Amino acid sequence: MQEEACHTHVRKSHHSDTVKKNLTTRLNRIEGQIRGIKGLIDKDTYCDDVITQIAATQSALNSVAKILLEGHLKTCIVDRIQEGDTEAVDEVLVTIQKLMKK
């Protein structure tokens, strides 16, 4: 669906089916990690072990964000800049700032 770009009035991504499947698989795994963390807390697991699992889950979420950001930069943002929409750069900077907040 390369024709539907992010810069249209109704913004949509245009990920390939392969990328969508990859992201869905990763998110399903993360969902399982979250359930696992809840289970660890229910079982009164040692705090450091729970924190380690939380860190692993955050890392997995960061990986999903990196994949999305890369695709966004290579398609949506490039398209918008080529069309003269330099505000796209500011949008990306705000997005990166959101990702880096911790």
The pLDDT, as a whole number, for residue 28 is 98
Structure confidence at residue 6 (pLDDT): 56
Band (15; pLDDT cuts 50, 70, 90): confident
Report, as an integer, the average pLDDT of 62-86: 94
Ordered by where they begin, the domains of the chain are 17-100 (1.20.58.1000)
Q: Which amino acid is at 40?
A: L
Q: What is the pLDDT of residue 12?
A: 77
